[in-house]
Structure 1
Amino acid sequence: MLFYNTGNEGDLQHMSDHGGVAYQLLTHRDEAGPSQARIRDRFGCKLGCSAIEAPFVAKHGKPDLEFGADDDRIEDIDIVHTPGHTDGSVCFFYRSPHGQSYLFSGDTIFQWNGKWSTFVLSSFGGSKAALAESLTRLRAWSPDIVLSSGFVGEVAYREVTREDWTAALDERIARLGGSS
């Protein structure tokens, strides 16, 4: 499973060394790019994204899987619809058999020099109100690790406790003008 996108040959080789990629899942349209075709050609994987984002993702390769509002799972991955950054943004939640859980948040919520941040792309249908609602829904999930596609700083992930996670969400919701 590949979340997001990469054109880095070292990343692709590492994936190849570990069995390849069956699915490439994108959280929103600005993760799409020319490397999608390279990844599909190399691994024969299926590309998935939300149905709302699919026309934009298709500019770089037609998605095999388009997640509608009622779709909430692909194999052992939960699909969490989180419009706000864009109108079709989604997050992916995975519970490892080894005990930890991972939230792949795309740009719904991400690290900016060690602090949580959000970003609305209104030109792509995003809105503060929708993002605040999505962050409120994310309070129902308890990830151990949050991994984003975009970030500023040294790392794109952060380990969180339940308390840290809800505090981060509540702070971002308040900044967006919503209530938790």
Structure 2
Amino acid sequence: MVERIIVGRLNTNCYIYSRWKKECVIIDPGGDYEKIISHMVGKNLTPRGIILTHGHLDHVSALGKIIDYYVEQEIHLDIAAHEDDAIFFGSGAREIHEEAFQQMGIDGKALFQEMYKPIPDIDLFLEEGKSVFDCDLRVIHTPGHTKGSVCLYSEESDMLFSGDTLFFEGVGRTDLFGGDSQALFRSINEKLMPLPDRTRVFPGHGPLTTIERERGYNPYVQ
């Protein structure tokens, strides 16, 4: 089961992924924590943990509120992200996030003030090729959008959660802290395009797509 919840001012795709009857994992809770929690309660699902495809604020800003809610239910949730994006988490992360939004000018400063919530530390570091939270999602490290960007691939289900690495006929921006356009293109062409054509792609923003479509129509794919 995959369910998409569009959250936050930047319309981030938060995903609820489950291969179990009563449990799931939350991927990229970027805002609107009440909406995410309401969905979980309505479906009678308990999360095993939270996975972040990268550390940008529009993908992590609901973390603290979700963690707090489940603490009250006496449920501890681990936060899993790549070590190379650790700078976006914890007590020292505010300055990094604020700097990114400042590049957007006055509108960016106002948006930052509206969106920012304290970001907890990472509990588990995601590693290339390893599964996470005892499920079938395997980590593919895809630096470029950020140094620690990852995609999550299920070979069994022909699914890829691509974060902001790969979009429908597009890719994530590389002009923010840790961005590297050449690294992004290598990640996409060397690690994602070899996946089977039938692989369904669930991106961090925008509509779903497939590897076959992106190989044929995405201008950033060689």
Please classify the TM superposition score into its range, dividing by the shorter chain length: 0.7 to 0.9
- The whole-number CA distance in structure 1 between the counterparts of 2:212 and 2:160 is 16
Instruction: List structure 1 runs of 4+ shifted beyond 6 angstroms.
Output: none
Is 1:32 aligned to 2:60, yes or no? Answer: yes
- % identity of equivalent residues: 25
Q: Deviations over 1:76-126 (max 9, x none)?
A: 210010011111110111245xxx322111110113xxxx11133333211
CA contact (8 A) 1:86 1:120 kept: no
Runs of at least 5 residues in structure 2 that lack an aligned partner in the other structure: 1-24, 71-75, 94-118
Match of 1:157 in 2: 208
How many residues align? The count is 158
Match of 2:175 in 1: 122
CA contact (8 A) 1:85 1:107 kept: yes
- In the alignment, which of 162, 172, 176 is matched to residue 220 of structure 2? 172
Q: Deviations over 1:45-99 (max 9, x none)?
A: 211110011221224001111124x553212210010011111110111245xxx
Which has the larger displacement, 142-151 or 77-86? Answer: 142-151
CA contact (8 A) 2:142 2:149 kept: yes
Match of 2:131 in 1: 73
- The whole-number CA distance in structure 2 between the counterparts of 1:57 and 1:149 is 19
Letter in 1 for 2:138: D
Give the deviation of 1:168 after TM superposition. Answer: 4.2
- The whole-number CA distance in structure 2 between the counterparts of 1:110 and 1:18 is 31
Is 1:104 aligned to 2:164, yes or no? Answer: no
Q: How does 1:41-52 map to 2 (within 5 A)?
A: 41-43=68-70, 44-52=76-84
Instruction: State the TM-score, normalized to the length of structure 1.
Output: 0.77
Runs of at least 5 residues in structure 1 that lack an aligned partner in the other structure: 174-179
- The whole-number CA distance in structure 2 between the counterparts of 1:12 and 1:95 is 28
CA contact (8 A) 1:86 1:122 kept: no
Match of 2:18 in 1: none
